[in-house]
């Protein structure tokens, strides 16, 4: 009888171990994210700069090549559709039909990447009407090398939008949403970033201000180590140097602060990357890891719009848990310029990214 119980006990332990091994094997990032099976939401399109200067990346605001976006519909700002008569973003159907051929003819062959690109969009929808992509980050994930590269894109970065000309990258989402709601706004933003870096975009995740606050509160806030005192201009609160616990509202003020920072928007981009790392660390801590599946389902259902599945996110969590410090953050080198904007008909402040450096960053960290 005792021997029978021992056999049953050993059999149960073996079953649990085999089950755990199967689950881990199923979600192991190098197996889960297979290059041949990755969705492609956008591939880069380009056209000559009509000014006769260095060729500029062109963004097609509608009908971008690649798969259509099939997210969960959450985390969107206004999702209404508005028809713009005489819209500056009306496209030529022949251009769109030949876009892939033009792109293929104008780009050198790229080396095969073992990773994929995820676009993170944070929307500022506090004003009535269409939202703007207030925060833009490209995350290159390489499951085989166990590395994560984060490249922040200043929202004022100057890019070429087809049919419009040189304007701000965050206008892509705005114009796309005006034309076809949140889904088309997302596709336009994806196309803008894809063409800026000359890379494919495979996944996206989008949330708005309310969704961001709710996510941080849902995980019980985050802990951040600051190297300096930081004034939050919106509320007049000062976060002291050292360890700080941030709830959703404080975290939102933290990632939006730029006026009190010596580096302005570039320091803000670094802070956003630091918070992303802190959120990841919190999700993978012992207290949260056991509740991760349920938490992921709630976030997907209530707070974000993404084409990532719950299984994708769990697999990414396993990757982040085993990166061993392989998370790096980069910003775009360039210079500030003040130029005429074709949308508003007046001069605006832009960040003019250095084209050679953008290509270097893309080649080294996003491909």
Q: What is the pLDDT of residues 101-145, one digit of tens each?
A: 333 333 444 445 679 999 999 998 655 556 778 889 999 999 888
Burial 17-52 (b: 16+ CB within 10 A, else e): eeeeeeeeeebebeebbeeeebbebbbbbbbeeeee
Which strands form 165-168's sheet, in the order they lie side by side? Answer: 46-47, 56-59, 158-161, 165-168
Q: Which residue has the higher pLDDT, 255 or 47?
A: 255
More confident: 119 or 279: 119
Tens digit of each residue's pLDDT (9 = 90 or more) over 171-194: 999 999 988 899 999 999 999 999
Stretch 195-223: mean pLDDT, rounded?
93
- Per-residue pLDDT of 19-77, as tens digits, reads 333 444 556 766 677 666 788 898 876 533 422 333 444 444 443 444 556 677 665 54
Percent over 90 (pLDDT), the chain:
37
Indicate the SS3 state at residue 200: coil
Alpha helices in the chain (DSSP H): 2-27, 29-32, 93-97, 99-106, 170-197, 209-218, 248-256, 265-283, 286-289, 292-302, 310-321, 355-361
Please write the tens of the pLDDT for every residue from 72-102.
766 554 443 333 333 333 333 233 233 333 3
> How much is the pLDDT for 35?
61
Round to whole Å and give the CA distance between 188 and 60: 7
Give the three-class secondary structure for 304: coil
Count the Cβ atoms, other than its own, within 10 Å of residue 56.
Answer: 20
Specify the pairing of strand 327-330 against strand 147-152: parallel
Residue 235 · residue 249 · CB < 8 Å:
no
Helix axes 248-256, 209-218, angle to 10 degrees: 130
Helix axes 292-302 and 310-321, enclosed angle (nearest 10): 130
Interatomic CA distance for residues 353 and 364, integer angstroms: 17
Token output for 354: 């250095």
Give which of 264, 259, 257, 256 is closest to 331, Cα–Cα.
264
Question: Could you tell me if 276 and 251 are in contact, meaning their C-beta atoms sit under 8 angstroms apart?
Answer: no
Provide the pLDDT for residue 43: 81
Average pLDDT over residues 159-174: 90
**Comparing C-alpha atoms, which of 61, 28, 262, 68 is closest to residue 177?**
61
Q: Contact, 315 vs 27, CB < 8 A?
A: yes
pTM for this structure? Answer: 0.76
Whether 358 and 197 have beta carbons less than 8 Å apart is answered as yes
pLDDT at 56: 43
**Which residues have CB under 8 Å from 223's CB, separation 6+?**
243, 244, 245, 246, 278, 282
Going by DSSP bridges, is the β-strand pair 305-306/203-208 parallel, antiparallel, or unpaired? antiparallel
291 token code pair: 């509740």
Burial tier of 306 (Cβ tally within 10 Å: 0-12, 13-18, 19+): buried
């Amino acid at each position: 009888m005792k021997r029978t119980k021992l056999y049953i006990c050993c059999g149960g332990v073996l079953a649990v171990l085999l089950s755990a091994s199967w689950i881990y094997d199923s979600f192991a990032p190098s197996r889960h994210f297979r290059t041949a099976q990755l969705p492609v939401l956008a591939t880069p399109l380009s056209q000559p700069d009509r000014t006769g200067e260095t060729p500029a990346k062109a963004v097609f605001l509608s009908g971008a090549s690649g798969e259509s976006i099939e997210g969960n519909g959450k985390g969107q700002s206004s999702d209404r559709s508005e028809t713009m008569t005489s819209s500056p973003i009306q496209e030529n159907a022949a251009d769109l039909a030949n876009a892939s051929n033009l792109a293929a003819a104008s780009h050198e062959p790229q080396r095969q990447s073992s990773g994929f690109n995820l676009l993170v969009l944070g929307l500022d929808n506090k004003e009535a009407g269409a939202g703007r992509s207030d925060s833009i980050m490209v995350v290159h994930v390489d499951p085989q090398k166990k590395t994560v590269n984060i490249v922040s894109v200043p929202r004022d970065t100057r890019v070429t939008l087809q049919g419009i000309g040189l304007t701000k990258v965050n206008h892509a989402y705005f114009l796309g949403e005006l034309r076809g709601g949140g889904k088309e706004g997302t596709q336009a933003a994806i196309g803008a970033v894809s063409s800026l870096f000359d890379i494919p975009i495979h996944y996206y995740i989008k949330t708005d201000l309310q969704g961001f606050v709710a996510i941080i509160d849902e995980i019980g806030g985050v802990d951040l180590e600051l190297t300096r005192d930081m004034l939050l201009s919106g509320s007049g609160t000062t976060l002291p140097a050292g360890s700080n616990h941030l709830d959703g509202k404080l975290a939102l003020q933290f990632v939006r602060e730029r006026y009190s920072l010596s580096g302005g928007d570039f320091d803000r981009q670094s802070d956003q990357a630091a918070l992303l790392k802190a959120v990841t660390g919190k999700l993978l801590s012992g207290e949260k890891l056991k509740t991760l599946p349920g938490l992921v389902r709630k976030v997907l259902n209530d707070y974000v719009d993404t084409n990532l599945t719950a299984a994708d996110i769990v697999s990414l969590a396993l990757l982040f848990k085993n990166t061993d410090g392989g998370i790096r953050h980069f910003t775009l080198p360039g210079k500030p310029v003040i130029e005429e904007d074709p949308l508003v008909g007046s001069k605006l402040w832009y960040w003019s990214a250095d084209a050679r450096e953008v290509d270097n960053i893309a080649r080294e960290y996003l491909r």
